[in-house]
A and B are shown apart, each in its own frame.
Chain A
Amino acid sequence: MANIAAQRIKREFKEVIKSEEVAKCAIKVELVNDNYTELKGEIAGPPDTPYEGGNFILEIKVPETYPFNPPKVRFITKIWHPNISSVTGAICLDILKDQWAAAMTLRTVLLSLQALLSAAEPDDPQDAVVAKQFKENAEMFHLTACHWTNIYAGGPSVNKDFDDKIKKLVEMGVDEHEARVALSSYNWDMERATEQLFS
């Protein structure tokens, strides 16, 4: 790893650890290996959003050319959000692409991701299905995102209705996560989800 990247990450790692957000348990970062090329990030779902109460794990890969190029970040925790792929966890956020600036840090990245959870940008989507639902059926989107937060990120709000529907599909031999994706994509319409799963 280039000297400059290592020097930066070491310092930023300390910066995050010492930051007030850590004190408030809002963001966290851990080393994955000794040479600072990979880190594990964690952000708390912001209040008054469907992600509230959840903890979201991030994979952070630091390129050799850091900080001249942004870190490669994706969600490990599955999440229902217009700018984050529900399949791969890939993130669509300008500062992780062409709007990156060398003075930005791990802390700014984590805080920006937290901000993204508070304010989705459905017109610049990563996940077209989620974005469509977000725009056309806000209530359904909210419920679905809450459900995903509950299941994958340890969020508090249990949705009995959704859980039952998934259970039915699982009893029919469908993989639980596949069932959840299908139901989420069809606004929890059992009939259409089943049709898609068995077609």
Chain B
Amino acid sequence: MHEQTEGANHIRFESSAVGSMRFRDIVAFATGAAIAHRLRAGLTALGIGIGVAAVVLLTSIGEGLHQFVLTEFTQFGTNLIAVTPGKMETFGAPMGGAFGTVRPLSLDDAEALTRVSGVKATVPMVQGNAAVKGGGRQRRTSVYGVGSNFPDVFSFGVASGEFLPPDDPRTPRALAVLGRTLRDELFGLANPLGARIRIGGDRYRVIGIMESKGNMLGVDLDDAVYIPAARSLALFNRESLFEIDVLYDEAASVDEVKAGIHRLMMARHGGEDFTLTAQEQMLDVLGSILNVVTFAVGALGGISLLVGGVGIFTIMTIAVRERMSEIGLLGAVGAQRKQIQWLFLGESVVLAGLGGLLGLVIGGGGIELLGLLMPALPVTLSLQYVLFAEGIAILIGLVAGVLPAINAARLDPLEALRAE
């Protein structure tokens, strides 16, 4: 209140300051101005809305893809280290040739590796394609030469019968375990346990059926047959294993286990002619690549947000020009420059905020639609993104509105009044 307060009905100003307009009144003023130009305001907001929708949709898809890929790659467990023949730079080509010979990765190596501290089990692995005959039919399928520890190491068990027994790795019996698809193709509904099949030239007895793993990145994991590694080496006429997979204790440190494996392999091979790849570290790399992808597509959507911001800037610049006499009047009835600035800034924030909401509706709808079209992809609209998108929209409104608002506040009220 100012000076004379004796008059009971004298007007009461908010505190003694003038620039104390209520927040709600600023919003009402800004909204009123936007409503007065419905179409224009709507289109401007739509510009931001499309940007927000693009960011929300693209980042959600990126994030969904990320989760999808990670679940695919972790379904066999994460405490795995693969030993492969040949020295490979982190992601480069195999070296070796230049540095003497590459000694083959042997079944003895696989056995020796079980003695490394922290290692729980190892599985030798030889993979190839071959024709499998059985149940009166024939099918070309993936043949995995593995060890008896395979189900433990890859957390991938049998559905019926049993897995390959722990025979002497050098002279295993001719036993085979079928994948679900191969079983269906060869035997249909008949029980294949105990049946004889031929792989290449050799005869095998079926002792188990693996549980179904479905597809991974388009490959049918169930279209396979599992036989002892030594027999697979002979079948494909190979000297070296494809790889040895090492399962280590969760409590052990990857780096220590890796160092142990490294020492042992160096001792056995007399040189570094092998490569160690930890699943965990691979997942880290994969994860960061996918994060970059998510960020990149998000940035792509950000470009349309930028365009929306330019739209707001343009409209606000026009609004200031058009409403000169209104600005002059605000000054004449006592608005301070800062207040005029806030009023116009409020207007661009209201436009952007509306656009943000519009974008969330469009983006949310898009995500719903995507969920219906591609149920496998785990795309969800997280609250975090919603708040982030709305926050970004409002920030854009502030940034785009600052210059027009400053220009409005800079006008001399008297000149603004005369401009008509």
- Are A and B bound to each other? no
